[in-house]
Chains A and B, each alone.
Chain A
Amino acid sequence: MSAISQWMAEGDASRRRALLTAGSFLLPVLVWCLVSYVPFIWHPKVMVDEPGGVDYFQSGMLVDRDEFDDQASQMKSQALALPSGHPANPIYLPAPHSVAKALYTGFTTAPESKDGIWLHQSLWHSIQIIFWGFVLSSLAGVPLGIFSGTYAALGRLNEPFIEFFRYLPAPAFGALAVAVLGIYDGPKIAIIVIGTFFQQVLVIANTTRKLDGTIIEAARTLGTRGLRLITKVVVPGILPDLYRDQRILLGWAWTYLIVAELIGTSSGITWYITQQARYQHFENVYAAIIIIGIIGFGSDLLLERLGRRLFPWDRSRERA
């Protein structure tokens, strides 16, 4: 009886959690829909259907509502044909359905120039930049973090400088990176590395320090010493937390992507976004931004699932 009611309560709780999760996404979309489809909420512009007697109006033109009303009353006083139009939002706020359409057509539309790049190619390029930036940063940052956390002297030797360096904004090194690494992918990867590495060392050193000291002492009384203390005890001991840190740091790396891709020749998803913005295809801009979010959030969800498989002993997630 109590087991069943507990099971019911758990069922309720998980359903409620799922509902709230869906709600956290639906709420902003709902606000966006309201602003887009309910004319009296915002709609500061008027989309001209028929120019009427106004000589500079064209059908499909967006004008301020005041200006439209002004012109309409002038036409009325001059007894000319009245312009007609419907309320509209500014061009930089496309409606959800047009963004949804752009999400699809972005992948199916051929690039405008012949040697242009498809959306999926831009995305793939961006993902590669992130990947290499993060891998290079981790190759140095993870071991350094673990050693700094294990050996207090090493930590004291490098952490003050790293503390200082992490306050330097990564994009500030853009011009330098171009001078050293050329204009293509090199400087972009470098910006991701600079943006990630210094945080990485500090975060991982901190995680390593939080490892329960008696575990290391127990290992020492069992005859473990030297480097094996790190490979057999420290690393497995912090692994679930290290994995969580890496997930958070990967998110950090994503936030440096756009700035990195503006350096040298613009490339990847950033190139796509700036191109679309230049032609005022803002639905495509929104679509691209949403895709970045989906890739980032989706990969994190996947990594989280994977983590549960990899670390069956990890109990901290049970508390979460």
Chain B
Amino acid sequence: MSQLHSIALPSYLDQSDEVRARFERINQRETILEVRNLHKRYRSAQGETEALRDLNFQVRRREFVCVIGPSGCGKSTLIRILAGLESHSSGDVLLDGKPVKGPGRDRGMVFQGYSLFPWLTVKGNVMFGPEMSGYSRNSAETQARTWLDLVGLTKFADAYPHQLSGGMRQRVAIARALVNQPRILLMDEPFGALDAQTRAKMQSHLLDIWKNIDITVLFITHDLDEAIYLADRILVLKPHPGEVQEVIEVPVPRPRSPGQFNGPEFRATKARLETLIHPPTEEETTDEAATLPNHMIRFTDVTDNVE
């Protein structure tokens, strides 16, 4: 049965004319972010560790790029380097052709743990960026209202972050990053802490936002479905050290909808990602597999053996 399926699947490399034309248009756009020969090594107690090895990629304007890879592949290190929160050992990170030095408002960042300012209201959080850039309070407030409207949180402008649900908090964080009108939005597993339902809603919501404004997105995730659903291209990293394994052009046509999860292009891409990220044979016996007990002691007193 499963074999039948795999036979029926097209190759993830097959693109419909529509999709191919779209990628051609994207490739003609200007490059926003360019990463060249990026290396990251750091010293730890065990000696020198190589976190990232020779990364090369480009992100075009208004492109949605997902970075995916198993834990330890350095995807968080990568996005922190892009944000300017960490230094790299060698290579170049260029934003609009200029090297990145330290964090700046030209690169918005959304963290997994929300990291909203708890002492500011929702509106105050969004106003923070404009105020830091020297806008007057009034102007900052007008901007904040616009972006809160975009993420649908106008009603909660005066609430404090702790009064909001996880999904709402992340919407505030997105508005807070976008109000600065950055060249690129960096998102570090932003929906990782949300429950499945909220996450699905947030994914659609993010696509809606992206459709309506001029923003380029680099999105880190470890969720295959999320990456395929959101991305134009997926950068697959492999761990120890982090290296680009493959760059996949997602053949799923836009506009995307949850209905496409069962479509042939989607399944083909997912199958490819699975073979890349969970290679069938190797490393099965390491780490977690080795620590799992092969038989369990039975503690229960209930004797009817109904599981």
Contact = CB atoms under 8 A, between A and B. Distances in A.
Interface of A: 212, 214-215, 217-224, 228, 232-233, 236-237, 239, 311-313, 315
Contact of A222 (B85, B128, B161): B128
Given A220-B103, A221-B107, A214 B132 contact: no
A236 B111 contact: no
A313 B160 contact: yes
Given A217-B111, A221-B109, A228-B132, A311 B119 contact: yes
Contact of B108 (A220, A221, A224): A221
- By secondary structure, the B interface counts as loop
A218 B132 contact: no
Given A312-B160, A315-B162, A222 B115 contact: no
A219 B109 CA distance: 10
A223 B109 contact: no
A220 B85 contact: yes
Nearest to B179: A222
B176 interface: yes
B29 to A, nearest CB: 24
Which residue of A218, A219, A224, A239 has the most chain B CB atoms within 10 A of its CB atom? Answer: A218
B83 A237 contact: no
Given A312-B160, A315-B162, A222 B113 contact: no
B2 interface: no
B111 A218 contact: yes
B195 to A, nearest CB: 21
Contacts of A223: 103-105, 129, 132-133, 180
B23 interface: no
Given A217-B85, A232-B132, A311-B119, 18 more contacts: A212-B115, A214-B115, A215-B117, A217-B111, A217-B115, A218-B111, A218-B176, A220-B103, A221-B107, A221-B177, A222-B129, A222-B177, A222-B180, A223-B105, A223-B129, A224-B128, A312-B160, A313-B161
Interface in B100-133: 102-105, 107-109, 111, 113, 115-120, 128-129, 132-133
Contacts of B162: 313, 315
A218 B115 contact: yes
B124 to A, nearest CB: 10
B202 to A, nearest CB: 18
A313 B176 contact: no
Given A223-B132, A228-B132, A239 B119 contact: yes
A221 B109 CA distance: 6
Contact of A313 (B83, B102, B113, B118): B118
B118 A214 contact: no
Contacts of B116: 218
Given A214-B111, A313-B162, A315-B162, A219 B128 contact: yes
